Structure 1
Amino acid sequence: MDVLRQKIKYMLFLLTGVVIGYIVGVLSITILVSYRIDKYHQEITYLNNVIEDKDVKLKKLEEVINDRKFIVKDIEIILVYDGDDIDKLKLQKYIKEKYNMLLGKEVKTIDTDLVSEIIDKRIMKIDEKEYKLSLEKLILSEIVKLWIKIDQI
């Protein structure tokens, strides 16, 4: 009887060790895979934004290729934001979409007050989160540079 109890305890101990080892292994693999998926998702989002920006620039520049005027060739958005990188990329994409109309236009004809009012003191909603945008600095040349401060509401 005493030997039977020892064998049952041994089997229970062995089974418990196997189950705990299996759970720890599955959890560690899941954490590793989810981390990599997050990184790949972030990289894909970034690359999709780059492709869209390049397509828009190419289209606008092809329309004004014969003009030798001082035209807007690129838009650069610098965000002052400490939040999630994916949200930052999405905000950058939506802000660039607002300013894509400037590509290919002559710099002399662009009104800086109107350019700054497009996004200044606006509230943008992305993924059920609201962000208040405020324009800190604007440089208007062949490359329009915008420094935008973002506060989550």
Structure 2
Amino acid sequence: MATVTFINNPVTLVGTEVKVGDKAPNFTVLANNLTPVSLSDSKGKVRIISVVPSIDTGVCDQQTRKFNEAASTLENVEVLTISVDLPFAQKRWCAASGLENVQTLSDHRDLSFGEAYGVVMKELRLLARSVFVVDSNDEIVYAEYVSEGTNHPNYEAALEAAKAAK
């Protein structure tokens, strides 16, 4: 398992760590209108899955904005931002932020995504900051578990993986 800290304190990640070359596990999360969304809903597209502990904190906000901006220039790429924030809070944040190229999704109900990708921080019941790129054949072509939860991911590497993916 990846070694992760949050505010410099070690945390225990729950679930199964995924690696490049793995088939991307399916999951079910909630859209802002409370409808279920799964990975299979975007089959045939390249997906950037941007995982944040809480959407309305500084680094999480910046991460979501960065991928929103990049998504406007990428073809056949869908950006999913997943956190355990309630769908209502995500909807409010999206409305205030005016972002149109990112779909925010909530894993608060049963941690389906978090456990499938090994990003649940047991001590906090939050998701560890991470980024996954899944190609149109549902293969993981990029996986980053950010070692310190308050740091930024490697945006350039994730975006390059998404551009190279088919």
Is the structural similarity TM-score above 0.5?
A: no
Larger helix proportion of the pair? 1
Q: Highest CA radius of gyration, 1 or 2?
A: 1
Q: TM-score, normalised by structure 1?
A: 0.25
* Larger relative contact order (CA 8 Å, sep ≥ 6): 2
